Amino acid sequence: MKKMQISNIVIPLRLFLFLLVSIFMAEFLIMLFLDYVRIPSKLANSLLDSTLLVVILYPILYKFVFRNMMITLKGRKYLNERLSKINEELEAKIRVRTSNLVSTNQELQEAILGCRQTETNLEKAYLQLKETQNQLIQSEKLSAIGQLASGVAHEVRNPLSIILQGVEYLEIKIPPKETPAREALSMIKDSVKRADKIISLLFDFSKAARLNLMPEDINSILESSINLVETKVKFMNIDIVKETKKDIPKTMIDKNRMEQVFINLLLNAIQAMPEGGKVIIRTYEKRLEAPANRVGERKEDYFKVGEKAVIVEIEDTGTGIPEENLNKIFDPFFTTKGIGGGTGLGLSVSQSIIIMHKGLIDVTSQLGKGTRITVTLHAIE
Amino acid sequence: MKILIVDDEKNFVYFVKENLAHRGYPVDVAYDGKEALELIQSKSYDLVFLDINMPELTGLELAKYVKENKIKSKVIIVTGYEEIKESLAKVLGADEYLTKPVAIADIEKIIKKYGG
């Protein structure tokens, strides 16, 4: 290592000494030569001296200064060009990498969006599953009640028959002037009728399987249901507003069963408005769009996406249903009407009839503002 | 008009008999299917009111017997089973049906319908 360093210095040093000696020799010879020529003028002597010095120094200056300078400049230029070329190449590479990064980034973002979508879909599916589970539990409950009802009804109706016949026997035996006793008898008779009505409603569950399906116009069924309840609202300060759409498609339904549903819903609406108010009855047709509860391609779905449906809405401006009761209102025997006010079977029977038609019944309610029941049925296309 | 009331609920039969007698319709009674069959065979009734669930012979079997043997009695099924209404009663040859609990007025209506 040391040797190499020494030899690196020695060569230029020798060269440098050689140059000095050469210049010294040349100048020395020139000076001798000038003395020899003996030029009288001081000016001419100086000119000649300078010219000869330039002639001697020219090749040395050219070889060791100018040429090296040129080489250095050329080298610098070449290096600059090369550098900018490399720069460009680098920039191009960076551009490619950057665009790759951008597209990868985009892909990633799309993937994130996809993940989010999947997440919401999953959430939706979960909610639907829960809903289906609830409905399954509900229909299990209904069929159990149906079986029970049919068994119990016969056993209960026999003693009811005896009571009724017994009361009618006593009506013969107790003279009309015995007013309190006669009143007691009519109270017993009323109770028998009430008990029998409950049994009839229970029977509606067990009769679930039998439907007499015909193409029917929902508006005319609503009309006859309204006629039946209209007498009830005559003195009640209740307006019945019809917003029914004419010429909607017919639906395959059991007319009597559906009438029973609408009467139930109308009576509920009326009972929710003790201070009076408005019952709005709406019908319209609608294509079912996004998959929703019971709308989709699954086996257990009632409606297909894109299917045409007939919608019936019955809306009241009544007291509304508290949120904690909303998911109970279709439960058999759930009632808020108090003893003697209701059996708690009306809505539950209505729901089972709608389910039998593979239709939907939904409720939305706002406390103090009112309740809306929406029934969705298959349209005949 | 000859009327037979058949039901294994003795109290029910007792009250119906009393109530119809008060309205001017004397009736015979039976408390099971076998007893009823003997009465139907020996006397020709115009109307037979039958319960369904009875020991020995059920009301439906009796109704079938009446129709198959071309006995002229009209058969009225009286039952707590509501489904009977639309299907079984008619298929098995009952002429009328009544759903329990029956009021005496309902029974009288049917008696009058058949000329009582």
How does pLDDT run across A265-313, given as a tens digit for each residue? 998 898 889 888 999 999 999 988 876 777 777 766 788 888 899 999 9
Environment class of A336 (CB within 10 Å of its CB; exposed 0-12, middle 13-18, buried 19+): middle
| A229 pLDDT tier (thresholds 50, 70, 90) | confident
Instruction: Note whether A284 and A379 are within 8 A (CB).
Output: no
Residue A62 carries which DSSP code? I
Select the residue from A150, A156, A157, A161 to test the B interface by mutation, using most B Cβ atoms within 10 A: A161
CA atoms within 13 A on the CB side of A97: 6
How many other CB atoms are there within 10 angstroms of residue A132's CB atom?
A: 15
Chain B residues with CB under 8 Å of A207 CB are 82-83
CA distance A300 to A128: 11
Residues 149-178 of chain A whose Cβ lies under 8 A from any Cβ of chain B: 150, 153-158, 160-166, 168-169, 172
Q: Please list every residue in chain B whose beta carbon sits closer than 8 Å to the beta carbon of residue A206.
A: 83
* A108-157 pLDDT, tens digit each: 999 999 999 999 888 888 888 887 777 667 666 666 766 677 777 778 89
Residue A343: which pLDDT band, with cuts at 50, 70 and 90?
low
Q: Collect all residues of chain A within an 8 Å Cβ-Cβ radius of residue B9.
A: 158, 161-162
State the ipTM, two decimals. 0.90
Please tell me the predicted confidence (pLDDT) of residue A338: 63
pTM for this predicted structure = 0.49
Show the beta-strand stretches assigned E in A296-340. Answer: 308-316
Q: What is the mean pLDDT of residues A174-179?
A: 91
Over the range B52-75, which residues count as b (16 or more CB within 10 Å of their CB) and which as e? bbbeebbbbbbbbbbeeeeeebbb
Q: CB-based contact (8 Å) between B39 and chain A?
A: no
User: What is the pLDDT at residue A373?
Assistant: 95
